[in-house]
Amino acid sequence: MGNSLSIVLITLNSERYLPKVLESCLFAQEIVIVDSGSTDNTKKIAQKFGARFIHQGWLGFGRQKQFAVEQARNDWVFVLDSDEIIPEELQQEIISTLENPKFKAYKVPRLNYFFGRPIKTCGLYPDYTIRLFNCQFARFSDDKVHEKVLYDGPLGKLKNHLIHFAYESVDEFIEKQNRYSSLAKKPNRLKAIFSPKWTFFQKFILQRGFLDGWHGYLIAKLYSQYTFWKYIKS
């Protein structure tokens, strides 16, 4: 028999995708949701799918996710965002991996959807991140944004990807990236001038965003704008 698995999520007014997200989690032995104060139907949806629902005031992304991991009853956890789903192929790969894990942590590819379209250019695929790990050997950083799993041992790699519904609209992208740039701000006027141009060139040309046409141009342009905000804010 394989190792038991807890899938861990943090939420805040996450009702848009949550039914699909949690339906894709039902193969796990436990679903843990740590919520920072939702006022929509997030809690009702979580209860419908049998998830453990825990309230925790916002600590920043890194500490909030680590708190959620610490609530899991199993050593093996899979950390999922509230706008991501685990396709059946990845579910089966996770199950078979946990039958006899060769590593203590695994990175997972992610396919991002922008404005209704899957994007494999602009450096956005395979977008590997550590998601499946034994929490006795790994933990989240304390970063307020752009958090990461801290683990220094040999790392496994899963083949099948998550699906991430990144942004439905340009307005949503601008709103979220404006917020993230405030959390990650690094005031530097020189970089504010030159770094956005490099970001656009990197994503649209070097990372072949042009192959996605208008979508690729738009994504490169929006990420360059985020770079500008990050360095201009004080």
Host domain of residue 183: 170-232
Last residue of a domain, one of 126, 148, 167: 167
- In degrees, rounded to 5, the angle at the alpha carbon of residue 111 between the alpha carbons of residues 107 and 115 is 145
- The residue written with tokens 């602009």 in the block is 122
Question: What sign has the CA pseudo-torsion 12, 15, 17, 22?
Answer: positive
- Name 58's Cβ contacts closer than 8 Å, sequence gap at least 6: 12, 36, 37, 64
Q: Give the tens place of pLDDT for each residue, 210-226.
A: 999 999 999 999 999 99
- Looking at the fold, whether 190 and 212 belong to one and the same domain comes out as yes
Mean pLDDT, the chain, whole residue set: 96
* Domain count for the chain: 2
Residue 223 parent element (H or E): helix 213-232
> Which of these three, 148, 167, 186, is where a domain ends?
167
183 or 3, which is more confident? 3
**Whether residue 176 is found in the same domain as residue 163:** no
- Give the predicted TM-score (pTM) of the model: 0.91
Beta-strand relationship, 110-114 and 162-167: parallel
Per residue in 4-49, pLDDT (tens digit) is 999 999 999 999 999 999 999 999 999 999 999 999 999 999 999 9
Q: Is the pLDDT of residue 2 over 80?
A: no
What sign results for the dihedral spanned by CA atoms 115, 223, 173, 63? positive
- For residues 209 and 97, state if they share a domain: no
Regarding whether 44 and 114 lie in a shared domain, the answer is yes
